[in-house]
Amino acid sequence: MKARPRANTSKDSGKKTVVAPSAHHMPLLNASGIIKRFNDFTANDDVSFSIYEGEIHALLGENGAGKSTFVKLVYGLIQPDAGVFEWRGDPVTITGPQQARDMGIGMVFQHFSLFQALTVAENIQLALPGGEPLASLSDRVRRISGEYGIGVDPDARVHNLSVGQQQRVEIMRCLLQNPSLLIMDEPTSVLTPQEAEQLFEVLRRFSDSGMAILFISHKLDEIRALSSRATVLRRGINVGTVDTDTRSARQLAEMMVGETVGYVARETPPADGDILLEISNLSRPRPTQFGTPLRDISLKARRGEILGIAGIAGNGQDELMEALIGEWRGKSNGVISLEGIDISHAGPALRRNAGIGFIPEERNGHGAVPAMSLAYNNLLTSHSLAGAVKNGVINDDAMRHAAADVATAFDVRLPNENPLASALSGGNLQKFVVGREIAKSPSVLIVSQPTWGVDVGAAMFIRAAMLDLAGKGSAVVMISQDLEEVFMIAHRIAVLYDGHLSAAIDATDLTAEKVGLLMGGSAASEALET
Amino acid sequence: MISLVPRKDISLALTVMTPVIAITLTLVVGAIIFATLGYDPLQALYQFFVAPVSRPDQVANLFVKACPLIIIASGLVFCYRANVWNIGAEGQLILGAVFSGYVALTFSDLPGWAMMPLMVFAGALGGLLWAMIPALLKTRFNTNEILVSLMLTYVAALFIDWIVRGPWRDPMSFGFPLTKMYEDAALISRIEFPGIGYLGQLHWGVVGALMLALGAWVVLARMLVGFQVKVMGFAPRAGRFAGCSPAFVTVMVLGISGAAAGVAGMVEVSANIGQLQPDISFGYGFTAIIVAFLARLNPLAVIGAGLVVALAELGGDSAQIALGMPKVVTGVFKGILLFMLLAGETFNRFHVEIRLPRSAKAKQTGG
């Protein structure tokens, strides 16, 4: 398959060649026997490894493998139940982030904490102790920015910055405290491949200057491109620390998952199926000050295909999803039609009756109600359909059976017959939410981030279920920020950038580089010529 | 650090025992307080808990006292389940009384079969319309319904005060702020038991209140409307996803609770007072908030909670009369009772986790 994702991060150019540090070097940070439990759940089970000065060390694992727990322990946000950290050879108890920063540990979180309305320098000033005057702070920011080629303008207002630039503001905030260890939690999850490559350049310069970097990721290619060593966590257990040069991406994946990694087979879609869902010229003003407006979006989803909508978070995915579900309805801004019938002004229930299924990104509190039983969660998207409610009275038995059938068909593991949604693990609940919609055989399924926060096994199951639905003659519109996923199952791909949707292009004609350019805002023609 | 952690398994035995333990603790603490203040504790507790229910007619009066609380709380349950905070049931009750009073005083010739339904309808309408003010302000301008509904209570109290002193005052009332007495058709009659006769003040409104609570339970537990209310309370975004408008639910639950409070006002006047006067409620609209929460927002449990709170009220009266206990002391005791019940309920659902401060813990593991 030609369209197998190949993030350009896999380029070997510029790769750091650090020999695995020899044993006589004293590690900067040494973790031994770290154990952290949350009630009955052991998030870190006897994790031990060392990080050396100037090293880029990757912490690799699936969602829920315990990566974030481990870095929170290092940063002092939570305390280990057992085990010892040694910092430059001395045992330390890291009681909180302030102590971690004083020791020389900086952390860039996955989700930024910046005040959108303030300037970069003002944001940095707020985070630093000591109340340094803005002028001298701005000078320092400019100097360090020049030194490492970070490109942060201290006078820019944060809401005018791209996500990648905002991330660099967060990095700058850490740098001003001269860290010897910089922790980055999934830094590329919000970046285009091009932005990620720029970030890697910066990180390599940090490492050249002697700074150690602990880098969390589950993306194998970028780990191989950037880091010299990787520690793999699986269900809280340290599977091993390896030189990334000696392992292929597939070997790393198998260490991470613990089983042979499977791929979903994508069939070619029937050419020119009927158009089931058509959106023309849909626009929407920005819903909040920092939301994204939708600009003149048009798309056609055909029978039998999966239409992938790629794009970085915050480029209008939420706004588009709300408009498609009907949670937001415009007066006269564009037309959404299902099999030729205008449904622009219909609410979510009517759209469901017409044969559309929706799976929103957030399952807790949007796609499902955690505090309610699965039967009632089934009712959530069934109440307007026949058999669910008679004379205003809920048909409890029917809902219970429907929920049980979904659980059986979609391999949802239940702790009891009709549990609360909150009693299910993330992957199980997602399988339920997906199964609930697919079980109704919708003619169009609109889904956002179908496998977000789901383990690899469940993700493969969900992708196979969507392919299966498309194979039976439905159209699937999948909004996903996971480029690998988009390439894996989408037949055609469009990219959402700053509220614009590019034209959909056959996946076989695309590469990750081209999609990456579109994700970064290049015009379609320009992207396709490169 | 002390924190409340939800219990995973809530044992049935503990659930049953919780109120028993809470009441036992109330008795112990109450006895200590009474003894400290120089009252015979046993005598005081007798007046509180036994004297008000020592005869069948007194038990009947307990239900009469609980009647408005049960009606109002059955409606408030909808609001609070939907996370809409109607604190103004007292005002809605007053408007219900005024609207039904208008029917009773204006169409005084109507026969009973027409008068009663019309008065119930008018009472519900009055409370509903008064509740629509916070509802519309909230949905249109995103105002805070707690403040608006609470403030409107004072407006309502001044409104009825003005109406019974001014336009509706009975010319024959010798200057007292009272309307005319209602005709018999406009009064809720007492229940006559065959062979026994009347039992205290027990009237048909009490039967209505119990049916209302039952109906509220059916709607909330079994019907789509109740489901939508609960979804809005748990997860408003999921409610919108299901196709349900938050504004609609806000208006609906404020309407339901306003109408219920209005009916309570109508029942209170028609069954117990017989005419409009400046004070028609003894804070029932506020006390019902406690009843709703004591019942854990379950309309069936509202009946029991209403009776418990009514008992505390009647017990307080009885202790004041028999022992000359000051009103503040009976108030404190009522407070202790409610505190114990709510605390028992909380500890039934959560357990306390005390975590040592980090430094102390570090020493422990280090040493």
Q: What is the mean pLDDT of chain B?
A: 90
Write the CATH number for B263. 1.10.3470
Q: Is the pLDDT of residue B362 over 60?
A: no
pLDDT of residue A63: 67
Q: A502 and A494 in contact (C-beta within 8 Å)?
A: yes
Same domain as A305, residue A330: yes
B287 lies in some domain: yes
**Residue range B335-358: average pLDDT?**
80
Please choose, from the candidates A106, A185, A107, A173, the residue with its C-alpha nearest in 3D space to the C-alpha of residue A144: A173
Residue-wise over A122-145: b if at least 16 C-beta within 10 A, else e? bbbbebeeeeeeeeebbebbeebb
User: Residues A127, A68: one domain?
Assistant: no
Residue B251 is assigned to a structural domain of this protein: yes
* Residues of A at the B interface, defined by Cβ within 8 angstroms: 79, 93, 95, 325-327, 347-350, 352, 358, 360, 362, 365-372, 376, 379-381, 383-384, 389, 392-394, 396
In a domain, A295, yes or no: yes
Determine the distance from the C-alpha atom of residue B325 to the mean position of all C-alpha atoms in its chain, rounded to a whole number.
25
Residue B294 pLDDT level (bands cut at 50, 70, 90) = confident
Least CB–CB distance from B237: residue in A358, A365, A379: A365
Length of chain A in residues, anyone? Answer: 530
Query: What b/e readout covers A49-79, taking b as 16+ CB neighbours within 10 angstroms?
Result: bbbbbbbbbbbbbbbbbbbbbbbbbbbbebb
pLDDT of residue A527: 53
Q: What is the mean pLDDT of residues A447-453?
A: 88
Residues A355 and A372 in one domain: yes
Is a pLDDT exceeding 50 seen at residue B85? yes
* Residues spanned by the domain of B34: 1-39+327-367
**B4 vs A409 pLDDT, higher one:** A409
Domain annotation covers residue A2: no
Residue in B227, B237, B358 closest to A376 by CB: B227
User: What's the domain range around A161?
Assistant: 113-175
| pLDDT one-digit tens code per residue, A223-236 | 888 888 999 988 88
In chain A, residues with a C-beta closer than 8 Å to the C-beta of B224 are 383, 389, 392-394
Distance from CA of A245 to the nearest CA of B (A): 40
Tally the C-alpha atoms within 13 A of residue B290's C-alpha that lie toward its C-beta: 20
Question: Which one of B149-158, B173-182, B346-355 scores highest in mean pLDDT?
Answer: B149-158
Are B79 and B183 in the same domain? Answer: yes
Structural domain includes residue B61: yes
Candidate from A109-123, A183-197, A254-268, B280-294 with smallest mean pLDDT? A254-268
Q: Are residues B91 and B114 in the same domain?
A: yes
- CB contacts of A347 in chain B (<8 Å) are 243, 245
* Same domain assignment for residues B272 and B349: no
Indicate whether A341 and A222 sit together in one domain: no
**B271 lies in some domain:** yes
pLDDT at A526: 55
What pLDDT is recorded for position A487? 85
Among the listed ranges A26-30, A456-460, B10-14, B20-24, which one has the minimum average pLDDT value? Answer: B10-14
Question: Is residue A42 located within the same domain as residue A126?
Answer: no
Chain A contacts of B356, Cβ < 8 Å?
none
pLDDT for A288 equals: 78
Do the Cβ atoms of B240 and A350 come within 8 Å? no
Polymer length of chain B: 367
Both tokens assigned to A15: 């790769």
The strand pairing partners of A495, in sequence order, are A310
Mean residue pLDDT across chain A: 84
Average pLDDT value for residue range A325-333? 84
Q: What is the pLDDT of residues A373-391, one digit of tens each?
A: 999 999 999 988 888 899 8
Amino acid (1-letter code) at residue A22: S
Question: What pLDDT, on the 0 to 100 scale, is given for residue B97?
Answer: 96
How many independent structural domains does chain B possess?
Answer: 2
The answer on B320 and B335 residing in a single domain is no
Q: What is the DSSP letter of A367?
A: T
Domain-embedded: residue A269: no
Both B135 and B27 in a single domain? no
Same domain? For A154 and A168 the reply is yes
In Å, what is the CA distance from A500 to each residue of A303, A509, B186? 24, 21, 67
A367 contacts in B (CB within 8 Å)? 238, 241
Inform me whether the pLDDT recorded for A267 exceeds 70: no
* Cα atoms in the 13 Å half-sphere on the side-chain side of A58: 28
Check A384 against B243: CB less than 8 A apart.
Answer: yes
**What are the tokens at A74?**
């290092």
What whole-number percentage of chain B has pLDDT above 70?
A: 96
Cα(B365)–Cα(B357) distance, rounded to whole angstroms? 13
Phi-psi region of A130 (alpha: psi -120 to 50; beta: other; left: phi over 0): left
Query: In this prediction, what percent of chain A has a pLDDT beyond 70?
Result: 90
CA distance B236 to chain A (A): 8
Minimum distance, in Å, between the CA of residue B137 and any CA atom of chain A: 21
For residues A484 and A471, state if they share a domain: yes
Nearest neighbour of B238 by CB, restricted to A79, A93, A366: A366
pLDDT at B18 over 60: yes
DSSP string for B125-162 = HHHHHHHHHHHHHHHHH---HHHHHHHHHHHHHHHHHH
With respect to residue A267, please indicate whether it lies within any of the assigned structural domains.
Answer: no
Between chain A and chain B, how many beta carbons pairs sit less than 8 Å apart?
71
A279, A427: one domain: yes
Mean pLDDT of B199-203: 89
Model confidence at A86: pLDDT above 90:
yes
Interface confidence, given as ipTM, is 0.83
Q: Are residues A407 and A377 in the same domain?
A: yes
Lowest mean pLDDT: which of A183-192, A292-301, B83-92? A183-192
A522 pLDDT tier (thresholds 50, 70, 90): low
Query: How far apart are the C-alpha atoms of A101 and A99, rounded to whole Å?
Result: 5
Number of domains in chain A: 3
Contact B242 A327 (CB under 8 A): no
Q: How far apart, in Å, are the Cα atoms of A173 and each of A56, A145, A170, B146?
A: 19, 11, 5, 42
| Residue B49 within a domain | no
Of A227, A262, A297, at which residue does a domain stop? Answer: A262
Cβ–Cβ of A393/B222 closer than 8 Å? Answer: yes
Together in a domain, B296 and B193 = yes
Confidence band for A528, pLDDT divided at 50, 70 and 90: low
For A489-514, what is the mean pLDDT? 86
A349: Cβ–Cβ under 8 A, 6 or more apart, which residues? A383, A384, B242, B243
Q: Residue A7: is its pLDDT beyond 90? A: no
Q: Contact B241/A370, CB-based, under 8 Å? A: no
Q: Same domain for B264 and B344?
A: no
A372 contact residues in B (CB cutoff 8 A): 230-231, 234
Helices then strands, each counted (H, E), chain A? 17, 23
User: What residue of B is the nearest CA neighbor of A95?
Assistant: B358
Residues B200 and B272: beta-carbon distance below 8 Å:
no
Decide if pLDDT at A83 tops 90.
yes
Alpha carbon separation from A303 to A340, A350, A472, A489, A502 (Å, rounded): 13, 21, 9, 15, 20
Residues B130 and B260 grouped into a single domain: yes
Provide the residue type at B155 as one letter.
V
Q: Is A426 exposed, middle or buried (0-12, 13-18, 19+ CB in 10 A)?
A: middle
Q: Do A393 and B224 lie within an 8 Å CB cutoff?
A: yes
User: Who among B224, B235, B361 is closest to A383 (CB)?
Assistant: B224
Residue A436 belongs to domain with CATH number: 3.40.50.300
Residues B273 and B167 both lie in one domain: yes
Q: Are residues A339 and A214 in the same domain?
A: no
Residue A21: φ, ψ to 5°: -60, 140
A362 vs B contacts (CB less than 8 Å): 237
Closest residue of chain B to A397, computed from CA coordinates: B222
Question: Of the residues A156, A175, A194, which one is the last residue of a structural domain?
Answer: A175
Query: Does A196 share its domain with A333?
Result: no
Q: Does residue B235 lie in a domain region?
A: yes
All residues of chain A having their beta carbon less than 8 Å from the beta carbon of residue B359 are 95
Strands A356-359 and A444-448: parallel
Domain end point (choices B324, B342, B357)? B324
Residues with Cβ within 8 Å of A323's Cβ and at least 6 positions away in sequence, in order, are A282, A284, A294, A329, A330, A336
| A205 belongs to a structural domain | yes
Is B51 within the bounds of a domain? no
Q: How far does A81 lie from chain B, in Å, by closest CA?
A: 9
Tokens of A40: 């009955």
Quote the minimal CA–CA distance from B152 to chain A in Å.
32
pLDDT digits (tens, 9 = 90+) for B139-165: 999 999 999 999 999 999 999 999 999
Which of the pair, A131 or B307, is modelled with greater confidence? B307
The answer to whether position A222 is within a domain reads: yes
A393/B362 Cβ within 8 A: no
DSSP letters, B250-287, are HHHHHHHHHHHHHHHHHHHIIIIISS--S---SSHHHH
User: Among all residues of chain B, which has the CA nearest to that of A79?
Assistant: B358
Answer whether A365 sits within 8 Å of B238, measured CB to CB: yes
Look up residue B110 and give its DSSP letter: S
B161 in the same domain as B34: no
Q: B223 to chain A: which residues are within 8 Å by CB?
A: 392-394
Does residue B279 register a pLDDT over 80?
yes
Residue A367 contacts residue A359 (beta carbons within 8 Å): yes
How far is residue A456's CA from residue A438's CA, in Å, rounded to a whole number? 20
Is residue A437 domain-shared with residue A491, that is, in the same domain? yes
Interchain pair B240, A327: CB under 8 A: yes
Selecting from A350, A369, A392 the residue whose C-beta is nearest the C-beta of B235 gives A369
